[in-house]
Chain A
Amino acid sequence: MAATSDATVDPTDGATRRDAVEWRPSRGKVGVASLIAMESFFFGTFIVAFLFYIGKDVHGPTGATALDVGPVIVWSICLLSSSATVVAAVKALARGAKAAFEFWMGATLLLGGAFVYGTAVEWRGLMLDHELFISTNLFGSTYYGLVGFHAFHVVLGLLALGMIWTLSKLGHLRAVDAEKVELVSWYWHFVDVVWIFVFTSVYLFGTGIL
C-alpha cells in the first residue's frame, strides 16, 4: 500500500498487478474544444438575431437589395480551402518536413488574407454605394455584428497562424510542436465552419435566395 505507485491491488480479485498508464484525454485538446463550444454559442446568438430580424426593417437597404452573393462565393472558396492547406501544413510539420510546412502555412495565410480582403471590399461597397452602416437599420446592425465578429475571428486566427509561421522561419518550431499547431488549426477549422453557417444565414436566407 505504501508508495510503490504503479502497483495496485485489484479490488475484485485481490491480485497485485502493474497497471498500464491510464489513458486521459489531452488537456490541450479539451481546452480548445471548450473554447470552441463557448464560441459556437456566442456565434449562435448572433445568427439567431440575424435570422429573427430578416424582413423586420422599417426602412433602408436589406440583404435582398444590398448584398451581392457572387464575389462572396469566391472569397468563401478561399477561406474553406484554407482548411485543407492548414491540414497539409500540420501533417508536414509532424513528419518534420519544414519546407513543406512553411509552404502550406504560407498558403493558408494568403487564402485567409484574401478572405479578409474580400470582406473589406464588400464593406466598402456597402458603405459607399448603399450607405449601409451599423446604425442605419436592423439589417445594418445584425449584418455588421455577425459578419464583423466572424471577420474579427479570422483576423485573430491569421495572427496566431502568422506567429507560428514566423517562429518556423526563425527556426524555433520542431516536429514535437505539431500537436500545439494542430490545436491552433482546430480553431481555424472552427472559424471556417462558422462561416458556412454565416454564409447560409446572411447570403442565402438573408437575400431571399432560400
Chain B
Amino acid sequence: MTTLPTTPAETVADRRAEPLSARLHLWAITVDHKRLGIMYVLSGLVFFLVGGLEASAMRAQLARPGNDLVSPEVFNQLFTMHGTTMVFLVGMPVLLGMGNYLIPLMIGARDMAFPRLNAFGFWLFLFGGLLLYYSYIGAQGLYGTSAAPDVGWFAYAPLTDRTFSRGNSTDYWILGIMVSGFGSIATGANLVATILCMRCRGMTLMRMPLMAWMMLVVGVLVLTALGPLTAAQVMLLFDRNLGAHFFDPQEGGSAILWQHFFWFFGHPEVYILILPAFGFVSEIVPTFSRKVIFGYPLMVAATVGIGFISLSVWAHHMFAVGLGPVLDAFFSAMTFMIAVPTGIKIFNWIGTMWGGRIRFASPMLFATGFVAMFVIGGLTGIMLAMVPFDWQVSDSYFVVGHFHYVLFGGTIFAIFGALHYWYPKAVGRMLNETIAKWSFWLLFAGFNLTFFPMHISGLLGMPRRIYTFQPDRGLELWNLLSTAGVPLQAAGVLLIVWNLLRSHRKGAIAGNDPWDAWTLEWATTSPPPEHNFDEPPTVGSRRPLWDLKHPEDPDGRYE
C-alpha cells in the first residue's frame, strides 16, 4: 500500500512580500528542478513566439504568386531560423524542461540527481539561443554580407563552405546550437541518472509512470545523438575557420558525409521531440478516461523499441541522394518497422479511452487532438518511407505538411495539453477552461487549414524553401489557404499565452489534485514546496494515489 505524508501549504504570500530584485536573484541562482523547469518552459515559449513570427512572415510572402514582401535573402534566413528555433530552442528545452519539473515529483525524489549540473544545462541552453539570435546583429562581421544563418536548419555541405557562405552567420549557427547542445547533453545525463537512481521506495522500474520511461529513453537518445552532431559541427567549424577539408568536395571531401552525420543526429532527434509528447499523452489519457493505461508493459517495450530502431532509420532523409538500392531498401524497411511500436502506442491510447468515462477537459482535448493529428503525420511518414514515392515528393511541400503534422499537430499539441494539465500543479491555480477550449479549437482549425493544403501543393510540385512561385501552376489556392490558417493559429496561441498570464493571478485555487489523478506529483501541494515531499513517499503500485484513495482495493494485486 502507499504511504503519502501530507505537506503543509507553502507560504506563497511571504514570497510575494520580498522586493522584485530579491525574487529575481532567487531565480537566477536557483538549482531547484521546479524553478529550472519553469524557466525552461517560459524561455521556450518566448522562442516559440519568435519562431511563429518567422513562420507567419513566410506564409505572408507565399500568400500569392510573385509576392515581394520579403527578399529572397531574408526568406532564406526566415526558414533557417524558424526550423532551428523550433527544434533546438522550443522543442528540446520545453520538453526537457517539463521532464525536469515533473520527473522528480513523479518518482518521489527531492530533486534531480545533479541539481547544479541541471542549472548549468539551462543557462547553456538560454545563452546558446541568445548567441544564435545575436547573429542578426553580429554576423555581418567585416564582410557586410549575410546576417542571420541562411543555410537551412540542416546546413547541408557544401553550401556551408566559406566559398558559398561568406560572413559569420554559419559560425553563429554552429556555435549557438553547439552551446545549447552541451546543455541538452547535461540534461540528458541528468535525466538518466535521476530516473535510474533517485526513485522512491517501492518505485520499481515497472511501476514508474510511463512518462518516466519515455524520458529515460529520451535521455539515452540525447546522449547518443548529440555527440555526433557536436563532432560534425566541430568539423564544419574547422573547415570554415582553420581551412580543414572535411566537407570540401574540391579536396576530395564528401558533402554526403555531412548528411549522414547530420541525420544520424537528426532522426533520433525527431524521437527526442516526440517521445516526451507520448509521455504527456500517456499520463493525460488515463486520467481523463478514468481507466488505467491499456497495455503498460507493451507501452514500455514499444518505447524502448522506438529508441533502438530510431538509431537506424536516418538515411530515409537521403533517398533522393542516390544511395543505391541496398541502402535504400534497408532504411526503407527499418522505417516501416518503426511504425509498428508507434502504432502500438496509438492503439493503446485508443484502448485506454475505449469504454472509459471520458471527460473532455482542455488537457484531454489537446491529447485527443494530438492522437488524431499524429496519426495523419505518421501515415504520411509511411508514404514517405516508400523510396519511389519519396523520390517524387522529396523536398516538396508534401514533406513540410508531413513533419508539421508530427511536430506541430503532434509535439506542440501535446505540449499545450501538458501545460493545461500540469499548470495547476506548478502555479496552484486553474487555467480558465472557456479560454482553453477556444484556444484549442482555433489552433486545431488554423493548424489543419494551414498544413493540410501543403500536402496537395506538394503533390502538385511546389518545392520547399522557395521564396515565391509562378502563377498558373494550380498552386495559388492551396498557398492562399495555408496562409489563411495563420491568423487562426496566432489567435489560438495568443489566447493560450493570455490564459497562462491571467490565471496566474485570477485562476480558481487548484488544490493538490484537481483532476483526481493517480501519479505522485498530485500527492504534494500545488505548487510543491522546495523539497517536494516532507517525507520520502513509498509506493506499492503504478497508481499510488489510487491506492491512497481506495485503501480497500489497492492496485498492486492486479499488476
B529 CB to nearest chain A CB (Å): 16
Q: Which of A43, A57, A145 contacts B235 (CB 8 A)?
A: A145
Which residues on the A side are within 8 Å of B557 (C-beta)?
11-12
Which residues on the A side are within 8 Å of B138 (C-beta)?
none
A209 and B326 alpha carbons, distance in the complex (Å): 30
- Which among B199, B231, B261 has the highest number of chain A CB atoms within 10 Å? B231
A4 and B201 alpha carbons, distance in the complex (Å): 12
Which residues on the B side are within 8 Å of A149 (C-beta)?
234
A-B contact pairs, 22 of them (CB 8 A): A1-B551, A5-B536, A6-B201, A8-B1, A24-B199, A26-B197, A27-B196, A34-B188, A34-B192, A38-B226, A40-B227, A41-B224, A46-B235, A49-B257, A52-B257, A53-B252, A53-B253, A134-B244, A135-B243, A137-B245, A137-B252, A141-B246
Across the interface, do A25 and B197 meet the contact criterion of CB distance under 8 Å?
yes
Q: Which of A9, A22, A38 contacts B1 (CB 8 A)?
A: A9
Across the interface, do A46 and B231 meet the contact criterion of CB distance under 8 Å?
yes
Across the interface, do A22 and B201 meet the contact criterion of CB distance under 8 Å?
yes
Nearest first, the 8 A-B pairs at minimum CB distance are: A11-B556, A135-B243, A41-B227, A45-B231, A34-B189, A141-B244, A42-B227, A9-B1
Across the interface, do A30 and B193 meet the contact criterion of CB distance under 8 Å?
yes
Q: A39 within 8 Å of B by Cβ?
A: yes
Across the interface, do B113 and A27 meet the contact criterion of CB distance under 8 Å?
yes
Q: Which of B5, B185, B201, B555 contacts A11 (CB 8 A)?
A: B555
**Chain A 4-22, CB within 8 Å of chain B: the 1/0 string?**
1110111110000001011
Q: Residues of A at under 8 Å CB distance from B? A: 1-6, 8-12, 19, 21-22, 24-27, 30-31, 34-35, 37-46, 49, 52-53, 56-58, 134-135, 137-138, 140-142, 144-145, 149
Chain B interface helix/strand/loop/mixed: helix
Q: B169 within 8 Å of A by Cβ?
A: no
A45 and B314 alpha carbons, distance in the complex (Å): 15
Chain B: interface residue count, which band? 35 or more
A134 and B253 alpha carbons, distance in the complex (Å): 13
Q: B52 within 8 Å of A by Cβ?
A: no
Which residues on the A side are within 8 Å of B238 (C-beta)?
134, 141, 145
Q: Which of A24, A39, A52 contacts B196 (CB 8 A)?
A: A24
Residue on A with the closest CB to B558? A11
Residue on B with the closest CB to A31? B193
Which residues on the B side are within 8 Å of A24 (C-beta)?
196-199
A49 and B232 alpha carbons, distance in the complex (Å): 9
B223-260, CB < 8 A from A: 223-228, 230-232, 234-235, 238-239, 242-246, 251-254, 257
Residue on A with the closest CB to B261? A45
- Which among B188, B194, B227, B230 has the highest number of chain A CB atoms within 10 Å? B227
Which residues on the A side are within 8 Å of B136 (C-beta)?
none
Residue on B with the closest CB to A42? B227
- Which among B244, B246, B536 has the highest number of chain A CB atoms within 10 Å? B244
Across the interface, do B538 and A8 meet the contact criterion of CB distance under 8 Å?
yes
B174-220, CB < 8 A from A: 185, 188-190, 192-194, 196-199, 201-202, 219-220
Q: A11-B554, A31-B113, A45-B232 are in contact. Are A1 and B193 (CB under 8 A)?
A: no
A144 CB to nearest chain B CB (Å): 8
A142 and B225 alpha carbons, distance in the complex (Å): 21
A21 and B201 alpha carbons, distance in the complex (Å): 8
Q: B84 within 8 Å of A by Cβ?
A: no
Q: B114 within 8 Å of A by Cβ?
A: yes
A141 and B3 alpha carbons, distance in the complex (Å): 60
Which residues on the A side are within 8 Å of B194 (C-beta)?
27
Across the interface, do B541 and A11 meet the contact criterion of CB distance under 8 Å?
yes
Known: A135-B244, A145-B246. 19 other contacts (CB 8 A): A1-B1, A3-B5, A9-B1, A11-B1, A19-B202, A24-B196, A26-B197, A31-B193, A34-B193, A38-B224, A41-B227, A42-B228, A42-B230, A43-B231, A45-B227, A49-B261, A142-B246, A145-B238, A145-B244
Residue on B with the closest CB to A9? B1
Which residues on the B side are within 8 Å of A52 (C-beta)?
254, 257
A37 and B243 alpha carbons, distance in the complex (Å): 30
Across the interface, do A12 and B538 meet the contact criterion of CB distance under 8 Å?
no
Across the interface, do B548 and A1 meet the contact criterion of CB distance under 8 Å?
yes
Which residues on the B side are within 8 Å of A21 (C-beta)?
201
Across the interface, do B2 and A1 meet the contact criterion of CB distance under 8 Å?
yes
A49 and B264 alpha carbons, distance in the complex (Å): 13
A126 and B64 alpha carbons, distance in the complex (Å): 60
Q: B535 within 8 Å of A by Cβ?
A: yes
Which residues on the B side are within 8 Å of A134 (C-beta)?
238, 242-244
A35 and B224 alpha carbons, distance in the complex (Å): 10
Which residues on the A side are within 8 Å of B461 (C-beta)?
none
Across the interface, do B252 and A19 meet the contact criterion of CB distance under 8 Å?
no
A38 and B2 alpha carbons, distance in the complex (Å): 37
Q: B540 within 8 Å of A by Cβ?
A: yes
B321-343, CB < 8 A from A: none
B47 CB to nearest chain A CB (Å): 24
Which residues on the B side are within 8 Å of A46 (C-beta)?
231, 235
Across the interface, do A41 and B196 meet the contact criterion of CB distance under 8 Å?
no
Residue on A with the closest CB to B112? A27
Which residues on the A side are within 8 Å of B264 (C-beta)?
45
Which residues on the A side are within 8 Å of B254 (C-beta)?
52-53, 56
Which residues on the A side are within 8 Å of B555 (C-beta)?
11
Across the interface, do B192 and A8 meet the contact criterion of CB distance under 8 Å?
no
Across the interface, do B228 and A45 meet the contact criterion of CB distance under 8 Å?
yes
B304 CB to nearest chain A CB (Å): 16
Which residues on the A side are within 8 Å of B556 (C-beta)?
11-12
A135 and B198 alpha carbons, distance in the complex (Å): 48
A12 and B559 alpha carbons, distance in the complex (Å): 10
Residue on B with the closest CB to A57? B252
A26 and B114 alpha carbons, distance in the complex (Å): 12
B115 CB to nearest chain A CB (Å): 11
Which residues on the B side are within 8 Å of A9 (C-beta)?
1, 540, 554
Across the interface, do B245 and A2 meet the contact criterion of CB distance under 8 Å?
no
Across the interface, do A2 and B242 meet the contact criterion of CB distance under 8 Å?
no
Across the interface, do B538 and A141 meet the contact criterion of CB distance under 8 Å?
no
A21 and B219 alpha carbons, distance in the complex (Å): 26
- Which among A4, A43, A135 has the highest number of chain B CB atoms within 10 Å? A135
Across the interface, do B228 and A41 meet the contact criterion of CB distance under 8 Å?
yes
Which residues on the B side are within 8 Å of A140 (C-beta)?
244
Across the interface, do A38 and B227 meet the contact criterion of CB distance under 8 Å?
yes
Which residues on the A side are within 8 Å of B551 (C-beta)?
1
B34-52, CB < 8 A from A: none
- Which among B188, B230, B238, B251 has the highest number of chain A CB atoms within 10 Å? B251
Q: Which of A3, A34, A145 contacts B234 (CB 8 A)?
A: A145
Which residues on the A side are within 8 Å of B242 (C-beta)?
134-135
Residue on A with the closest CB to B204? A22
B106-129, CB < 8 A from A: 113-114, 117
B49 CB to nearest chain A CB (Å): 32
